[in-house]
Amino acid sequence: MEGNDFTISRDVPSVCANKLISGEVDLGLIPVAMIPQVPNANIISNYCIGSIGKVNTVLLMSKIPLEKISKVYLDTESRTSVNLVKVLAKKYWLTDWNYDILPIDYHSNNNVESMVLIGDKTQESLDFPYQYDLSEAWFNFTGKPFVFAVWVANKKLTDDFINRFNASLKKGLDNIPKSIKKYNKSIKYDLEEYLNNYISYPFDNDKKEALKLFLSYIA
């Protein structure tokens, strides 16, 4: 990955992690729960996908109140969200649920009473009156921000590349409105509000401490 000699691959978070673990790619934005599985894992960026309080797109959605839940179906596109709900259930809500993989027909499947959804799917019209924001629950539990994904390399990268990479990410963050105008073709919610007010990007000391705490819980 020197100069402009690189290829960009766009995948869901879990696939990004699997490619990094297998060595198919050198660098990826991956769910933090997958970091321990990456050989020679090294977080290289000054930026992350994080939140302070509500994130609005990582939700435990239920047809029944929290205290009546016995089984939760999991959106497996992000291993971090899967682990987060398990940590919160055990340590914050003090309960022990059963878990299963979310079926494709979750929209109409009457057996799905409670589920974890991430991303755009959380903005669909779904008849789940009880919704719990997992990032907000983590903040209430720990008083800390949450880190969902970080840029991780599986090999040593040059300082020059890392500096240029961080500069590129900063340029993207400085131009969020322009990016939305160019690429937002089908998302129906206020993407600018979401990216500016719900996602927190600096991978600062508070987030590093929060990440360390989360990884200790899932170890």
2-24 pLDDT tens trace: 445 678 888 888 888 999 999 99
| End-to-end Cα distance, the chain | 31
On whether the 58-142 domain is CATH 3.40.190.10, my answer is yes
Per-residue pLDDT tens over the stretch 42-97: 999 999 999 999 999 999 999 999 999 999 999 887 789 999 999 999 999 999 99
Question: What's the predicted TM-score (pTM) here?
Answer: 0.89
- Domain spans of the chain, in order of start: 13-52+146-218, 58-142
The listed CATH number (3.40.1190.20, 3.40.50.300, 3.40.190.10, 1.10.3720.10) that belongs to domain 13-52+146-218: 3.40.190.10
Same fold for the domain at 13-52+146-218 and the one at 58-142? yes
Closest CA to 147 of 10, 67, 20, 29: 29
Rounded average pLDDT over 200-213: 97
Q: Beta strand 98-101 with 71-74: parallel, antiparallel or unpaired? A: parallel
Tens of pLDDT, residue by residue over 156-190, are: 999 999 999 999 999 999 998 888 877 765 666 68
pLDDT for residue 98: 97
Q: pLDDT tens, 98-153?
A: 999 999 999 889 899 999 999 888 888 788 999 999 999 999 999 999 999 999 99
Torsion angle defined by CA atoms of residues 125, 127, 128 and 130, in that order, rounded to the nearest 10 degrees:
100
Contact by Cβ (8 Å): 147, 49: yes
